[in-house]
């Protein structure tokens, strides 16, 4: 902690929140000036609720807050921001049809005589973007044209404009590359030197140890630990978070791996996916690894028909039959499901109930002549809530009120009702805590025991090595190699991930004109 971190900038006392049931209770916490306080716990522990209360998005049911020695009762996020309390949420607060510059200064666009001063807007934007390492991006670029990682950095830059005394970062690195993560950590150090206090919410315990001075652990809406970060290792923190020990191995149970259930041959789309071929057997988990931008999500979208392939074939079923997939409707009709990485933007209707979201992919089973049978819908929802162990007050609870892990279970539950035999998972545990991750792993094991063929894309190599039977490595759009369980090492997987880029760079170098 810096020398300036002696005075409390924010304190909460007896804070609680009740919806249909209590989700947060009797929280006492102090944030010192210039410190990084790590906030962690399982999904559903109350982290997001507490941070939204501090950020002005949610009104507490009980308790009081003080900010810089004064009573603090923000009625809105805007009011909190004006006081200098900013929050970067997992759900990005950006407008995709506006430029980066316009998003950065949307509430304070420079103008003269009623017209936006474009030159000043551009200059100010370049300065703001430089703070988070985005110098290479043209500020006139539409936000919708940026990748998720760059959008996250734009959101962080937006919140650093003007006076910022408290910055809440909710899973800030979930969508960032290693280089972007390093830039974020450098920025955090600079903010601390300026006296900015940071609440850093993350499930990545190695990150917390690197950036935080103190840690606060929530479990079931209660604060179970507030202490110096240096006093705990990852294993001890996991035990505090989940109330039990979790090993580094998982038993997926006895499985019988059968014949090939999905065969992909020569699948290609422009320079994103290049001549990719692989097979997945019934009862098998086939992992896909690679660097961000390697073509992993693009490959799943091609198989699912969300994007059109330039060429290549897909065969499914037992026995295998070549199928034409021109749309997601075709894919689902052939028994292929996709659980997207963007569950909030593409996988869920956040303003609807659990039952409505699970019913969404199963309307033919619960409706007649276009009229939904409410009893059948509720029965379907209860079946999946029980089977998936979705933590909720009832199937009528809004999905937006659920934790990330439970939201993910709702998405998976919808597809389980359809009985799809091939299931594509894109970053299935992104933004999910350690305990919920193991619940998802156990679910994947159950799916394979039912004979389903699973394809899992993940940025976490340790995760893939834990759950997969085989791992294919994509690099610069090409499937470089496929590794069998017990014959891979982390170094080999990483080397393969870089191999395609090294080969591509070498070819580009050879093709470049010489000046000798």
CATH architecture of 8-242: 3-Layer(aba) Sandwich (3.40)
Indicate the pTM of the whole model.
0.57
Nearest to 399 by CA among 347, 460, 473, 454: 347
Contacts of residues 429-432 at CB distance under 8 Å and 24 or more positions apart, as own/partner, are: 429/458, 429/460, 429/463, 430/174, 430/175, 430/341, 430/459, 431/90, 431/171, 431/174, 431/203, 431/404, 432/43, 432/203, 432/404, 432/405, 432/408
CATH number of 260-335+421-516: 3.40.50.300
| Residue where the block lists tokens 């990084």 | 36
Domain boundaries, the chain: 8-242, 260-335+421-516, 345-419
- pLDDT tens, the chain, 516 aa long: 443 445 799 999 999 998 767 889 999 999 999 999 999 887 667 888 999 999 999 999 999 999 999 999 999 999 999 999 999 887 777 888 999 998 888 877 777 777 778 888 888 888 888 877 778 889 999 988 887 777 878 888 888 887 889 999 988 887 677 777 887 888 888 889 889 999 999 877 788 889 999 999 998 789 999 999 999 887 788 778 766 554 556 777 778 899 999 999 999 999 889 999 999 999 999 999 987 678 999 999 999 999 999 999 999 998 999 999 999 999 999 999 998 877 666 677 888 888 888 887 777 778 777 788 888 888 888 888 887 778 888 888 998 888 777 888 888 888 777 778 999 999 888 767 667 778 888 889 989 999 999 999 988 778 898 899 999 999 889 999 999 998 888 778 878 887 776 665 454 455 555 554
The reply to whether 260-335+421-516 shares the fold of 8-242 is: yes
The pair of three-digit structure tokens given for residue 79, joined into one six-digit string: 């009011």
Distance from C-alpha of 10 to C-alpha of 178, rounded to nearest angstrom: 31
Distance from C-alpha of 443 to C-alpha of 504, rounded to nearest angstrom: 39
> Sheet of 22-32: strands edge to edge?
22-32, 8-18, 62-67, 70-71
| Per-residue 3-state assignment (H helix, E strand, C coil) for 258-273 | CCEEEEEEEEEECCCE
Nearest to 425 by CA among 480, 468, 486, 377: 468
Taking the CA atoms of 418, 399, 395 and 467 in sequence, report the sign of the dihedral they define: positive
For the chain, the first-to-last Cα distance in angstroms comes to 55
CA distances from 406 to 40, 247, 338, 403, 461 (A): 17, 22, 17, 5, 23
């Amino acid at each position: 902690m810096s020398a300036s971190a002696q005075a409390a900038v924010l304190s909460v006392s007896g804070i609680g929140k009740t919806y249909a049931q209590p989700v947060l209770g009797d929280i006492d916490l102090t944030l010192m000036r210039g410190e990084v306080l790590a906030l962690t716990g399982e999904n559903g522990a109350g982290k997001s609720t507490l941070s939204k209360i501090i950020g002005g998005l949610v009104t507490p049911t009980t308790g009081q807050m003080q900010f810089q020695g004064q009573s603090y009762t923000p009625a809105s996020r805007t009011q909190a921001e004006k006081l200098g309390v900013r929050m970067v949420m997992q759900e990005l607060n950006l407008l995709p049809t506006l430029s980066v510059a316009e998003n950065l200064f949307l509430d304070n666009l420079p103008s003269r005589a009623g017209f936006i001063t474009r030159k000043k807007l551009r200059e100010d934007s370049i300065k703001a973007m430089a703070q988070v390492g985005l110098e290479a991006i043209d500020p006139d670029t539409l936000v919708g044209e940026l990748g998720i990682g760059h959008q996250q950095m734009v959101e962080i830059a937006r919140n650093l404009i003007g006076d910022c005394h408290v910055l809440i970062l909710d899973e800030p690195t979930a969508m960032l590359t290693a280089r972007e993560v390093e830039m974020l950590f450098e920025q955090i150090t600079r903010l601390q030197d300026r006296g900015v206090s940071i609440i850093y919410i993350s499930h990545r315990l190695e990150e917390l140890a690197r950036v935080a001075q103190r840690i606060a652990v929530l479990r079931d809406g209660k604060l179970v630990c507030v202490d110096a970060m240096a006093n705990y290792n990852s294993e001890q923190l996991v035990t505090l978070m989940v109330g039990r020990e979790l090993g580094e191995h998982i038993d997926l149970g006895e499985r019988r791996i059968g014949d090939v259930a999905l065969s992909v041959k020569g699948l290609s789309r422009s320079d994103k996916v290049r001549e990719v071929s692989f097979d997945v057997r019934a009862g098998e988990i086939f992992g896909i690894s690679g660097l961000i931008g390697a073509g992993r999500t693009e490959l799943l979208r091609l198989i699912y028909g969300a994007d059109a392939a330039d060429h290549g074939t897909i065969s499914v079923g037992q026995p295998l039959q070549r199928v034409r997939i021109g749309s997601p409707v075709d894919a689902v009709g052939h028994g292929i499901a996709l659980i997207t990485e963007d569950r909030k933007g593409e996988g869920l209707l956040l303003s609807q109930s659990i039952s409505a979201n699970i019913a969404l992919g199963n309307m033919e089973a619960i409706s007649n002549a276009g009229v939904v049978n409410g009893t059948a819908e509720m029965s379907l929802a209860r079946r999946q809530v029980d089977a998936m162990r979705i933590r909720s007050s009832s199937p009528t609870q809004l999905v937006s009120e659920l934790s990330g892990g439970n939201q993910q279970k709702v998405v998976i539950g919808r597809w389980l009702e359809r009985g799809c035999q091939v299931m594509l998972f894109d970053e299935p545990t992104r933004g999910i805590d350690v305990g919920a991750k193991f619940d998802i792993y156990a679910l994947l094991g159950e799916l394979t025991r039912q004979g389903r063929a699973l394809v899992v894309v993940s940025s976490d190599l340790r995760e893939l090595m834990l759950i997969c039977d085989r791992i294919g490595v994509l690099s610069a759009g090409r499937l470089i190699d496929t590794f069998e369980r017990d014959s891979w090492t982390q170094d080999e997987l990483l080397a393969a991930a870089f191999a395609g880029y090294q080969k591509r760079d070498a070819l580009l170098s050879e093709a470049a004109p010489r000046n000798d």
